[in-house]
Amino acid sequence: MKSKLATIAVLASIACSGLPLQASPSLAELKARSKSAGFIATLQCHLNKGLISEARAQKILVKWLTDEPQYRDGAAWVKHTKAGNDAIQAVLPYFTADCKEVPKNMGELLYPFLTQ
């Protein structure tokens, strides 16, 4: 009986070892994602309205990430994941025509995407 139990335990551990482990983002990660999404959404708004060029937006983003390196992982998440891109698309319609007024409920709009 003990050998059967040991065999089952080994098989179960082998079967479970192939499953991906999805950890929830930490509070620091959520903050970095949120700040980065807001910043990049604002840049995207300016780009969409023709208020700045792509080159200028890139320079602004690089300068911001140089000055605020704690947001680099958040910016990478925004740029390289579907959830990050979806977050930007979700908030863009709520900016004013001059992109100076950000959505008052931006946190609520972003939250479902930030946790993915």
Tell me what the pLDDT averaged over the chain comes to: 83
Q: For residue range 15-42, what is the model confidence (pLDDT) as tens digits?
A: 444 544 557 888 889 899 999 999 999 9
Question: pLDDT grade, residue 53 (50/70/90)?
Answer: very high
CA-to-CA distance for 64 and 58, rounded, in angstroms? 10
pTM of the model: 0.76
Among residues of the chain, what percentage have pLDDT more than 70?
81
Determine the pLDDT at residue 101. Answer: 80
